[in-house]
Amino acid sequence: MPPDLDSLRAALAVSPDNVPLLLLFGEACIDAWNIDEGRRVFEKALTLQPESVDAQLGVARILLKTGNASEALVRIEAVQKKQALPPKAVVLHAEVLAACGSMNEARAQYEKAVAADSSLKNDALEQLLAAGGAAAPKVPVKAGDANDATADDIDAMLSSIVEKTQPAITFNDVGGMESVKEEIRMKILYPLSHPELFKSYGKKAGGGILLYGPPGCGKTLISRAIAGEIKAHFLAIEIHQILDMWLGNSEKNLHGLFDMARSHKPSVLFIDEVDALAADRTNLKHSAGRTLINQLLAELDGTESNNEGLLMVGATNAPWHLDPAFKRPGRFDRIIFVPPPDAAARGAIMRILARTRPMGEIDYEKLAQKTAGFSGADLSAIFDRAAEALLAKAMKAGGVIPLAAKDLLTAAAAVKPSTKAWFETAKNYALFSNQDGFYDEVLAHLGISR
């Protein structure tokens, strides 16, 4: 019998930094198709134990299930470079290769895994590999009006899954990132808040921006703050809320989301991990994926609708997988690098994190110097870890004990910065695939001149 999610959550509440327990819970989340929570759990395990192969492979499984096979392949091959994969992971490698269209290599990996462990036979994968890659896996097509998803069905589904809010947070709630904020103000906020002035110069409000950088550095937070600054609706969606197994429904879902955003102007439509939706078409073998990308391009262009007052914000940790067409002016023509916070920003972030906790006297500048390379998520993990350690003492004492500098320093020593792995990958693209200067900001951050 598979582990019960509620029981595992209860166990984690008692032992939140137990990596084996986190991995077990992450696998249970995948089995229950609780994808978002599973991703967060595996990422937390990687924060605590960056070299965990099981956590890396868990993230890769989630990426595959959410349609981001190319990033899943990058993660698996990064692990493979360091050590031999166990047979079960080799099957996953084969599934990812097949999803990327590399059928021959996928077949070789699958046969190697089954030769090592016959219990890993996978009938569905065998059928796909037996086709030899001559045709894409067939997408089920609904037949007849009785089975067709109506516009009302799709509208009801979208309304139930999409977050439609006016965020209370503003840039004041986002620590640091001053250069990013100023660029967003000039390119995004001022046109939306002063449309008539900008219109007189031939500039319209709205458009598309792409935020890229290492995970946990505030891309989602800054997107919410954009909406909060201009009191706009914020529509947050994720890839699995768009993708549908039935041919044509993914495109309908995407169009419905844009129409929903257009009907709530001014609005910010935020798509996380947009590289899964805007992947480079040269890497896609299947027409269904290409059709969805073409639909997104058409929505960004506003060829059949008026996008004025609609801001499309995409966030990605893997900008190298984006189709070049999305960088054309009028689409994601505003591309902003969101780096890890510098020392001043780390101090500002920690002051914000301290607002909701009992704090003693803290030298935030000194603490910031001790956390070089940490993302905002890493800093949050430090506060969480320190608070959890202090809770046991507070319960015994029967009262609140303020967090002291030593508590945070102890927690910081146990949390490893999660941005290093991203920069290892980004550096290669910045050095060898940077003909248009797309990654100049990454090189500048690393102190490398072209």
pLDDT of residue 289: 67
Work out the percent of the chain whose per-residue pLDDT is above 70: 85
pLDDT band at residue 206 using 50, 70 and 90 as cut-offs: low
pLDDT for 147 equals 37
Report the alpha-carbon distance of residue 1 to residue 129 in Å, rounded: 31
Cα distances from 14 to residues 7, 17, 19, 34, 391, in angstroms, run: 11, 9, 13, 21, 11
pLDDT of amino acid 261: 81
Ranking 155-159, 199-203, 331-335, 426-430 by mean pLDDT, the lowest is: 155-159
- Tell me, what's the pLDDT at 423? 92
Rounded CA-CA distance 93/96 in Å is: 5
- Cα–Cα distance measured from residue 159 to residue 442, given in angstroms and rounded to the nearest whole number: 38
Best-predicted range by mean pLDDT (65-79, 103-117, 165-179, 297-311): 103-117
The Cβ of residue 286 has, within 10 Å, a number of other Cβ atoms equal to 14
Q: How, if at all, do strands 163-165 and 233-237 pair?
A: antiparallel
Inform me whether the pLDDT recorded for 24 exceeds 50: yes
Higher pLDDT, 70 or 391: 391
| Residue among 303, 304, 226 nearest 269 (CA) | 226
Cα diameter, the chain: 70
**CA dist list (Å): 65 to 59, 62, 70, 237, 316:** 10, 5, 12, 16, 17
pLDDT at 368: 92
Structure tokens at 153: 């069905």
| Backbone phi and psi for residue 208, each to the nearest 5 degrees, phi listed first | -130, 140
Q: Which amino acid is at 52?
A: S
Q: Tell me which of 237 and 316 has the higher pLDDT.
A: 316
pLDDT surpassing 90 at residue 408: yes
pLDDT at 414 over 80: yes
Give residue 27's pLDDT band: very low, low, confident or very high (50, 70, 90). confident
Which candidate, 265, 271, 266, places its Cα nearest to that of 295?
271
Say what angle helices 69-82 and 420-432 make with each other, to 10 degrees. Answer: 100
pLDDT (0 to 100) of residue 161: 44
Instruction: Examine the pLDDT at 229 and tell me if it is beyond 90.
Output: no
Residues in the chain, total: 450
212 bridge partner residues? 316, 337
In terms of pLDDT, which residue wins out, 58 or 199?
58
CA distances from 233 to 133, 190, 363, 411, 445 (A): 44, 16, 38, 37, 33
Q: Which domains does the chain have, with CATH numbers?
A: 5-130 (1.25.40.10), 147-337 (3.40.50.300), 343-414 (1.10.8.60)
Round to whole Å and give the CA distance between 447 and 431.
12
- Among residues 48, 63, 61, 51, the alpha carbon closest in space to that of 17 is found at 48
Task: Count the neighbouring beta carbons within 10 Å of the beta carbon of residue 447.
Answer: 6
* Amino acid found at 167: P
Whether residue 301 contacts residue 331, with contact meaning beta carbons closer than 8 Å, is answered with yes
Residue 288: pLDDT band (50, 70, 90) is low
Measured distance CA(289)–CA(293) in Å, rounded: 6
Q: In 85-218, which residue ranges form alpha helices assigned H by DSSP? A: 87-99, 103-116, 123-130, 151-161, 178-184, 190-193, 195-199
CA distance 60 to 108: 20
| pLDDT greater than 70 at residue 294 | yes
Mean pLDDT along residues 407-417 = 90
Q: If DSSP codes are grouped into helix, strand and coil, which group holds residue 59? A: helix
Distance CA 75, CA 55 (A): 11
pLDDT of residue 11: 81
pLDDT at 286: 52
Q: Is the dihedral of CA 438, 444, 446, 450 positive or negative?
A: positive
- What is the predicted pLDDT for the residue at 379? 92
The pLDDT, as a whole number, for residue 149 is 43
Banded model confidence at residue 152, pLDDT cuts 50, 70, 90? low
Report cis status (omega within 30 of 0) of the bond before 266: yes
Give the pLDDT score at 14: 82
According to the model, what pLDDT value does residue 121 have? 84
Contact 340, 217 (CB under 8 A): yes
Average confidence score pLDDT of the chain: 79
pLDDT for 354 beyond 70: yes
